[in-house]
Structure 1
Amino acid sequence: MADRSFQPAFLSPRYWPTWFGIGLMRLLCLLPVPWLLALGSGLGRFLGRVIPSRRHIVRRNLEVCFPELPAAERERLADEHFADLGAGVFEAALAWFASDDKLRPHGEVVGLEHLDAAMKDGQGVLLLTGHFTTLELGARYLCLANRPFHAMYRPYENKVMDHYMHHWREARSGLPALPREDLRKLVKALREGRCIWYAPDQTLDRRNAVFAPFFGHPALTISATGRLAQMGRAKVVPYFPARINGRYRVTFFPALEDFPGGDDVADTARINRVLEEGVKLAPSQYFWVHRRFKKRPPGTPDVYAR
């Protein structure tokens, strides 16, 4: 594991913009939560209009996943998505810097009995979720519910952000962060009855991934969920964060029954169906700005081609 202690090199001029950004976010978190959301939403809507390449990705994702919606409704959803992306920047800052007392009145966790039931016999749990704009704050509310978990991480190129992201996630989650590539540590934690945050809906290459339907279209998806659950003798418990009517809600669902089934493609397709249900809770808050269908089966046209 890389050394993530504070380094004197972090004070070099190349990192001054990063320090300025961190300091600004800490100061902004002193504002009331509704003010931060309004500020972030406005910024996000503006960026959604001036970055046409990203808006094209969002539009195409929505066209693929929600073909039944009228074009005007998908355009409204795209606007809401960029607003939620902007708000998500400040929501992440709240997750890292805001006090427990400030956050508690603005959110809740429902369905915790499903997580507790899955863990009652000492089994580990994969906390299955996806990449949502409320992801960091949703994890913070899980901490407020006194359910410690291992966050997973992938190193950042910016060493200061890598240091602080690692530090913030460990401080808030209550357990050490685990490198997503270290299978041995992941399995060990599960066999010891721990919870691990797990989002298999973004993948960078074809290793340990298969094409499985996502809203009816093939999407390259990490296929290790079933194998990790089997090796760690763990349950898979879906949970999804969302902001609904200005209030945060983290919703847990019952552990998946008869999972894994032994077929990677079928198991991965099942995971994607579960993620679809989570997306439907707050459709504009899923990461539509991500090219979910970038990698395609041979002979399949490029979804994002202009």
Structure 2
Amino acid sequence: MAAEPAAHEGCWFSAPAVAIATAVARLPQSWLLALGGIATWLLWPLLAKRRRHARTNLALCFPELDERVRGRLLRDTVRATVTGAFELVRGWYAPAHALRGAADVEGLEHVRAVLAQGRGILLLGGHIPSSELCARLLGEALDERVSIVARRNNNPCIERLMDSARRRVFADVIGKKDVRGLLRTLSRGGIVAYSADQDFNYQNAFVPFFGIPAATLTATPDLARRSNAAVLPFWFHRDASGRYRLRVEPTWDGWPSGDPAQDAARYMAELEAVVRRHPEQYLWVHRRFKTRPPGEPDLYR
């Protein structure tokens, strides 16, 4: 809590934003989800660019669906993305007692077994709108705070506000490109929620994701090796009743293989299988296929 005054300094909107966020974070789950639906309707015209990206991604990844079904999936994924902003607020500002019983968690034994060895854990997941809330929920279930990797905001006021909020509930907040910070946290035996499924134009390999060559980071196994950390897949979704389902799996058999491209392909294949179960809850508004293999055209014209 001590970091909050610095977060407000020079940013006129920070104090009212925190007050509103604190109130939203305490809403009953059904109200929060309804608020996400209302916000989606209000923001729909302003999200034209994001909707266009999502429409392109869904057409590429689900060519077997007809236009009507894909249109419904587009509406659902935009709603899940907007609702994710409220889930983010809940993850940052909800008191622990308000989150009690909100999630069913499987696989805690895999986490505890690695921690008992004195090793850090890289929780390898995907870009799902509820990711920070689910990282918080996992920490609550473990009774141990999780660290996260987050992209810094370009606006200094917003960045201070978000960083202050995150540090309320996470053990550490590591910048997306702060490799040293990530290795330091893992080497100390920390648990870090990490996703490497967005478009990468460096240290990448083009591997299939829904049958489309996707530029994917290949450095994950090396990060684990350098920090002596275990890589445990971490999957989650929100079910129809509004409850969160979290699952930590043991490291995949034969992973890492020693071939970075092959390991990246395995990661994408596992993620694809998870996304297909709840496709509306993936971050399709991101240009996942922005970086193309040499000679291939831009898919987002």
Is TM > 0.5 for Structure 1 vs Structure 2? Answer: yes
Rounded to whole Å, the distance in 1 between the matches of 2:119 and 2:286 is: 33
| Aligned pair partner of 2:168 in 167, 171, 174 | 171
Rounded to whole Å, the distance in 1 between the matches of 2:258 and 2:27 is: 50
| Aligned pair partner of 2:215 in 204, 216, 220 | 220
TM-superposed CA distance for 1:63, in Å, is: 1.2
Aligned partner of 1:36: which letter?
L
| Aligned pair partner of 2:227 in 229, 232, 238 | 232
Which string of whole-angstrom CA distances, capped at 9 and with x for unpartnered residues, describes residues 86-124 of structure 1?
211111111111122212132222221222234332222
The answer as to whether partners of 1:42 and 1:83 remain within 8 angstroms in 2 is: no
35-44 or 22-31: which moved more?
A: 22-31
Rounded to whole Å, the distance in 1 between the matches of 2:108 and 2:44 is: 36
Aligned to 1:27: 23
| Aligned pair partner of 1:64 in 60, 64, 83 | 60
SS in 2 for 1:105: coil
Aligned to 2:127: 131
The answer as to whether partners of 1:45 and 1:82 remain within 8 angstroms in 2 is: no
Whether 1:304 and 2:300 are equivalent positions in the alignment is yes
- Sort the Cα spacing of 1:78 and 1:293 in 2 relative to 1 into closer, same or farther, 3 A: same
Whether 1:153 and 2:150 are equivalent positions in the alignment is yes
Which string of whole-angstrom CA distances, capped at 9 and with x for unpartnered residues, describes residues 131-177 of structure 1?
1111121011012112432222332222233223223323312x232
177-186 or 91-100: which moved more?
A: 177-186
Identity %: 37
The answer as to whether partners of 1:209 and 1:223 remain within 8 angstroms in 2 is: yes
Rounded to whole Å, the distance in 2 between the matches of 1:185 and 1:17 is: 30
The answer as to whether partners of 1:55 and 1:78 remain within 8 angstroms in 2 is: yes
SS in 2 for 1:39: helix
TM-superposed CA distance for 1:7, in Å, is: 7.2
84-93 or 288-297: which moved more?
A: 84-93
- Sort the Cα spacing of 1:66 and 1:92 in 2 relative to 1 into closer, same or farther, 3 A: same
Rounded to whole Å, the distance in 2 between the matches of 1:248 and 1:265 is: 32
The root-mean-square deviation of aligned C-alpha atoms, in Å, is 2.3
TM-superposed CA distance for 1:77, in Å, is: 0.8
Rounded to whole Å, the distance in 1 between the matches of 2:287 and 2:243 is: 28
Which string of whole-angstrom CA distances, capped at 9 and with x for unpartnered residues, describes residues 167-224 of structure 1?
3323312x23233333333223323332221110124x52222222111111111211
- Sort the Cα spacing of 1:20 and 1:67 in 2 relative to 1 into closer, same or farther, 3 A: same
Rounded to whole Å, the distance in 2 between the matches of 1:31 and 1:172 is: 18
Rounded to whole Å, the distance in 1 between the matches of 2:80 and 2:267 is: 24
The answer as to whether partners of 1:115 and 1:255 remain within 8 angstroms in 2 is: no
Aligned to 2:39: 43
Aligned to 1:94: 90
Rounded to whole Å, the distance in 1 between the matches of 2:293 and 2:33 is: 39
TM-superposed CA distance for 1:275, in Å, is: 1.6
Rounded to whole Å, the distance in 2 between the matches of 1:121 and 1:261 is: 22
Whether 1:279 and 2:275 are equivalent positions in the alignment is yes
Rounded to whole Å, the distance in 2 between the matches of 1:84 and 1:36 is: 12
Aligned to 2:138: 142
| Aligned pair partner of 2:12 in 6, 16, 19 | 16
- Sort the Cα spacing of 1:45 and 1:112 in 2 relative to 1 into closer, same or farther, 3 A: farther
Aligned partner of 1:301: which letter?
P
The answer as to whether partners of 1:84 and 1:284 remain within 8 angstroms in 2 is: yes
TM-superposed CA distance for 1:76, in Å, is: 0.9
45-54 or 146-155: which moved more?
A: 45-54
Rounded to whole Å, the distance in 2 between the matches of 1:20 and 1:7 is: 13
TM-superposed CA distance for 1:280, in Å, is: 2.6
Whether 1:207 and 2:195 are equivalent positions in the alignment is no
Rounded to whole Å, the distance in 2 between the matches of 1:54 and 1:287 is: 10
Query: Given the two structures, how large is their TM-score scaled by the length of structure 2?
Result: 0.90
Which string of whole-angstrom CA distances, capped at 9 and with x for unpartnered residues, describes residues 214-241 of structure 1?
1111111121111111212222111122
Rounded to whole Å, the distance in 2 between the matches of 1:154 and 1:40 is: 23
Which string of whole-angstrom CA distances, capped at 9 and with x for unpartnered residues, describes residues 16-55 of structure 1?
2444333322223343221121011222144345533322
Structure 2: stretches of 5+ with no match in the other structure: none
- Sort the Cα spacing of 1:82 and 1:45 in 2 relative to 1 into closer, same or farther, 3 A: farther
